[in-house]
Amino acid sequence: MPTNDELATLLEEMADLLEATDVEYKPSAYRRAAENVREYPEPVEELATKPDDPEDAVAEINRVGDAIAAKLVEYVETGEIEELEQLREELPVDMAALTSVEGVGPKTVGTLYEELGITDLDDLAEAARNEEIREVSGFGAKTEQNILDGIDFAKQAHERTLLGKGRPLGESAEAFLASIDAVEEAALAGSNRRWKETIGDVDVLAASDDGEAVVDAFLEWENSTDTIEAGPTKASLRTGDGVRVDLRVVDPHEFGAALQYFTGSADHNIRLRNLAIDRDLKLNEYGCFDVSDVDDPGEGPDGSRTSSDSTDGSQRVGERIAGETEEGMYAALDLPLIPPELRENNGEVEAAAAGNLPDLVEEEEIRGDLHAHSEWSDGDTTIEEMALGAAERDYDYLALTDHGEGPGVFGNTGLSNEELREQMETVEAVRETLEEAGHDLELLHGVETNITTDGGLSTPDDLLADLDIVIASPHAALGQDREEATERLVDAIEHPETDILGHPTGRLINQRPGLSPDFERLAAAAADAGTALELNANPNRLDLPAEAVRVAVEADATIAIGTDAHRPGALDEMRFGVHTARRGWAETEDVLTARDLDGVRAFLED
């Protein structure tokens, strides 16, 4: 059964191919439809298989018209979309890979295919090295060099899956495994469980005494399209959108040891094994063993096996003292359970030993969202719909922060100064509607203004002063060097009207690297100025990165986790921001959006 994400990806591919062949209007319609299909709360496949008028059922999805609905039904029924196949034949390119190079959009892909026959990243790199691209009309030596510079980044990015895609897929696999009768317990592992911003493969564990039954059931998972390998206790498959999912079935009495081991990271595990060796203990995926009376425990400090340690049996040498639970594995080393997000060997083991692990912020502690958009700029829905979405999530507050004018805003959709003032009246009307309906949500009105190349703000100070909240974000000139970027962002932080520095690097994960400022200087400036640093929870951004969050926390700067939501469903992406904050050692008191409305107002007025 195709997932919503798979169906949305097909629509996005159609949009790119249509744009590459100079079709107007349709690409944007397909992209809007893709966004809503991906976020639709129920399986779209179920709508497409309704016995009566499936196309009408699919067309009920917001922004999915009759023509697009018909194509989705066609794919569910036949496994392909005829028009998409025709487009692929006309333009046989690896569109996803090529457009992952910064500055290469669908139209560029179409031009380079027509002029040079470029179909993939290898072709693109060869043409750039041979100086062929600069000879194409509309290109030049600088564009060619920029493309060449971006190819290595694109190749690396193309091998990694965004957390926003990998985590839900992993959770689906975990839930499916948990539903199998032979499975006693199931869990995510690997970088997915550590909430890293990108993942390689999805790793899942299942505790069972009947590995073959679990593997057989796993291979029938509805998201599976291809079996890579399968054995008595292991299996790997590939999903419809190309992600590899690896399963390992373990003895229920060793589930905790396996979960600790396969969650990683490798450096964290090596650090723990070194502690174990110092105590005459052996730590591995099967448990923690007392090997004080064993002549050759068979493991070096780096976790490598010796010649006498080549089988599972020899891995279980000594007296087993832990393994059923993760807590027991850490307790055997006199450590508290270390949260998965911290397991990177960045001082967490030493902090745990000293009793100084941070009390990390939790998802349920978030009280509101201070970054959201409506159809006034580049959002998909009305202000009222966004507010109701926040109210449904029991938030205390939501800040509407549509784009102001300025360079770099997608589609030039920023509001003029006059439109921002006009919007004030609409926001006030929505506030009255919310109150009449009995909602306690406080709707704040703000703007996401643009940071100019010299650190100024693109919205006038007198207008900014009349708004509840001001987010200043970089959207253009993202190729500045470290010093220029740092000075620019510090100036924006210190602007008297700036409340939050939005997505400070401007990066898009797997698409563009963005700015590389001195985060220590940003954090110090933010702490001194009383300006919050945003952790943009959109999984395409996760900006600030986790390592920068930790720098900010250590400097006593405030973190504002916001979703940058353009539709109500995107408010749920808050969890990606929270866990990125946890990876950065952020506690509840560090996070602005974990404060109540009075606390937020006090911060904004300070």
Phi, psi of 383 (to 5 degrees): -60, -40
Q: Among 379, 292, 428, which Cα is nearest to 564's?
A: 379
- The span from the CA of 464 to the CA of 497, in Å, is 6
Q: Is 320 helix (H, G, I), strand (E, B) or coil?
A: strand
- Better-scored residue on pLDDT, 482 or 305: 482
Give Dmax (Cα) for the chain.
81
Boundaries of every domain in the chain: 4-158, 161-250, 255-353, 363-605
- Does 311 have pLDDT greater than 50? no
Pairing of strands 319-322, 287-290: antiparallel
* Mean pLDDT confidence for 68-76: 95
pLDDT of residue 412: 62
Q: Residues 232-265: pLDDT tens digits?
A: 999 999 998 889 999 999 999 999 999 999 999 9
Q: Among 13, 33, 4, which Cα is nearest to 81's?
A: 13
- The span from the CA of 406 to the CA of 479, in Å, is 17
For residue 93, count other CB atoms closer than 10 A to its CB. 23
Q: Provide CATH code, domain 161-250.
A: 3.30.460.10
pLDDT of residue 42: 85
* Spatial CB neighbours of 393, under 8 Å, sequence gap ≥ 6: 571, 572
- Kindly indicate the confidence band of residue 411, based on its pLDDT and cuts at 50, 70 and 90: low
- 255-353: what fold? Beta Polymerase; domain 3 (3.30.210)
Q: Among 51, 49, 44, which Cα is nearest to 78's?
A: 49
Please count the CA atoms within 13 angstroms of the CA of 87 that sit on its side-chain side: 24
- Does 306 have pLDDT greater than 50? no
DSSP E strands, 256-396? 281-284, 287-290, 319-322, 368-372
Phi, psi of 372 (to 5 degrees): -155, 155
Query: b/e map of 28-40 (b: 16 or more CB within 10 Å)?
Result: ebbbbbbbbbbbb
Q: Are 204 and 193 spatial neighbours (Cβ–Cβ below 8 Å)?
A: no
- Kindly indicate the confidence band of residue 40, based on its pLDDT and cuts at 50, 70 and 90: confident
DSSP string, 330-360: HHTTT-PPPPGGGTTTSSHHHHHHTT----B
* Mean pLDDT confidence for 538-543: 96
Please tell me the chain's helix, strand, coil percentages from 3-state DSSP, rounded to the nearest 5: 45, 15, 35
Burial class for 279, CB neighbours closer than 10 Å (0-12, 13-18, 19+): middle
Q: Is 403 helix (H, G, I), strand (E, B) or coil?
A: strand
Q: Give the CATH H-level superfamily of domain 4-158.
A: DNA polymerase beta, N-terminal domain-like (1.10.150.110)
Question: Helices (DSSP H) in 437-573: which residue ranges?
Answer: 461-465, 482-494, 519-529, 546-554
Phi, psi of 562 (to 5 degrees): -135, 150
- Does 533 have pLDDT greater than 90? yes
Joined tokens for residue 523: 């954090």
**Cα distances (Å, whole numbers) of residue 565 to 40, 376, 439, 506:** 15, 13, 20, 16
Amino acid at position 361, single letter: V
* Spatial CB neighbours of 367, under 8 Å, sequence gap ≥ 6: 395, 396, 397, 593, 594, 595, 596, 597, 600
Domain 363-605 has CATH 3.30.390.50: no
* Mean pLDDT confidence for 472-479: 94
Query: b/e map of 185-214 (b: 16 or more CB within 10 Å)?
Result: ebbbbbbbbbbbbbbbbbbbbbbbebbeeb
- Does 310 have pLDDT greater than 80? no
Q: Is 89 helix (H, G, I), strand (E, B) or coil?
A: helix
Q: Residues 14-32: pLDDT tens digits?
A: 999 999 999 888 998 999 8
Same fold, 255-353 and 363-605: no
* Mean pLDDT confidence for 531-536: 98
* Mean pLDDT confidence for 395-399: 98
Read off the pTM.
Answer: 0.85
| Cis status, amide bond into 478, omega within 30 of 0 | no
Q: Residues 99-147: pLDDT tens digits?
A: 988 889 999 999 999 999 999 999 999 999 999 999 999 999 999 998 9
**Cα distances (Å, whole numbers) of residue 568 to 166, 388, 592:** 21, 8, 21
* Spatial CB neighbours of 25, under 8 Å, sequence gap ≥ 6: none
